[in-house]
Amino acid sequence: MRLQVFCEDRLGITRELLDILSSRKIDLRGIEIDRVGIIYLNCPEIEFEQFSQLMSQIRQLDGVTDVRKIQFMPTEREHKELKALLEALPDPFFSISLQGKVDLANDAAEMVLGKSRNEIVGENIHALLGFNVHQWLEKESAGKRSELIVLAGMDYVMEVMPVYVADESEEQVLASAVILLKSLSEAKMPLAMRQLSGDNGFEHLVGQSSRFKQLISQAKKLAMLDAPLLIQGETGTGKEMLARACHQRSLRRDNPFLLVNCMSMPDNAAETELFGMAATATEPGKKGIFEQADGGTAFLYEVGEMSEHLQIKLLRFLQDGSFRRVGEEKEVRVNVRVICSTQKKLPDLVAAAQFREDLYYRLNVLSLVVPPLRERTADIVPLAELFLSQFAQELQQAKPAISPEVAQYLSQYAWPGNIRQLRNVLFRAMTQLDSGEMRVEDVQLPENESTTVISEETLDGSLDDIMKRYESGILTSLYRSYPSTRKLAKRLGVSHTAVANKLREYGINKH
């Protein structure tokens, strides 16, 4: 029970209250004294008769004007109100000690970290968000700080705010800090905020398959080198994002990263874009991409589309870093790392005399091959979760849950358009949702491409296990187009009973 005692400011009155509790053998768990003449007592609950006698005895004390039973002590009430307020915040919130330990976190923090409250509270904030409290205290004098961080592929602005309290001499003393995470859509981020350092570029790349982890591990090693890098992979696999991540991890990250799409411009425009143009009597000179990217990285998207003329100029540039602007004799020398991407097989182009062999070997000093999505099915659901989080943020609506049926449906699709197609399909589905869960009927996929794929994940286990998974995938896909056992049996050329037994064995239904 908690008691609120109204009294005069008299010397010894608090001691007399404690004597009453002691004489009745009532334990005192806490006491607070208000400057306006109120004493708060926190004691265990007692029987009604004993409680009535206690209240009467307290009221008889000289200087006591009233006594009441209350629900909370003042600090308890403040703490609960503050906690309720923090829980209501839509953004992730952390309260941390000066040692960097998390004292308090809200539901939004649990969701963004994918951890329970028990796992977060007591953990070091550096392990959770990469924020070094000791460095903040020493080098930045504990001032307010904002920086961009990446969690589960999503961008957040981390705002760190110091908390000062008054001590006995009314001096302001730093007691703790609070951290608020505000999610940002990349389309709405100021350009200055996109300058990431260290591994942050790679943190935007999401996946958990062994193929993906192997690719990222190799890319991080090659990112630190200055030799040309060739990134190969099908359309929509994320070659540009990988190139940007390599640039962010390199020593060139503070300098420009510039892109040229070799398949979107005519030959003369591409040459001017890459190498620049000399000044004329009527027009000023123009710097090309290589000149603008001096000290940084130039990314040549779909280098296999380059004309033979541009291939010759690029080959010379790669040899010594020098070139001439279009219409100019003076040579310009720059320090640029070249990263190229292609969805075509350059050796086949070399064999067909459509790509210079010497340029191919010059570009293929370091190489990365990005596997298609159908060969890394374990990454499909994590990518879907990331995209839905981004769309929810952009559309200002709640993120839908992915039902197990949708997860299976997405994982069994071949994804000829890879990650780009997955993103587009989910965006279309997100705009059509009328509930908090995404269902199979919300996801529109071309039926002729809806096939079970063979990947490293589907090849686990014995031959019997593999064949059962494959058979289950075929039946699941076809049952959407032939939604009765008789139609499906006719389509497969087997008996109705055989199909019904298989559907029952694999737990496949119309939904």
Cα gap 498→256, rounded to integer Å: 63
Angle at Cα 226 formed by Cα 222 and Cα 232, nearest 5°?
50
Burial of 418 by CB count in 10 Å (0-12 exposed, 13-18 middle, 19+ buried)?
Answer: buried
Coil, helix or strand at residue 5: strand
Beta strands in 364-418 (DSSP E): 366-369, 401-402
Residues 108, 92: Cα–Cα separation, whole Å: 5
Query: Going from the N-terminus, what domains does the chain have, and what CATH number goes with each?
Result: 2-76 (3.30.70.260), 89-192 (3.30.450.20), 200-369 (3.40.50.300), 373-449 (1.10.8.60), 463-506 (1.10.10.60)
Q: What is the mean pLDDT of each run of 10 residues along the chain (511 residues)?
A: 87 88 88 84 88 88 88 84 76 88 87 84 89 80 80 79 79 86 58 40 83 90 92 92 91 91 78 87 85 94 89 91 88 93 91 92 92 90 88 82 89 88 90 84 69 51 72 76 80 85 78 53
Nearest partner of 346 among 309, 297, 299, 311, judged by Cα: 311
- pLDDT for 191 equals 37
Q: According to the model, what pLDDT value does residue 326 have?
A: 87
Hey, how many other C-beta atoms are within 10 angstroms of the C-beta on 348? 11
Q: What is the pLDDT of residue 461?
A: 62
- CA 236, CA 233: separation in Å to the nearest integer? 8
- Report how far Cα 66 is from the mean position of its chain's Cα atoms: 57
Please provide residue 101's backbone torsions phi and psi, each rounded to the nearest 5 degrees.
-85, 140
Other C-beta atoms lying within 10 Å of the C-beta of residue 300: 27
pTM of the model: 0.60
Dist. CA 28–CA 32, nearest whole Å: 11
pLDDT of residue 451: 46
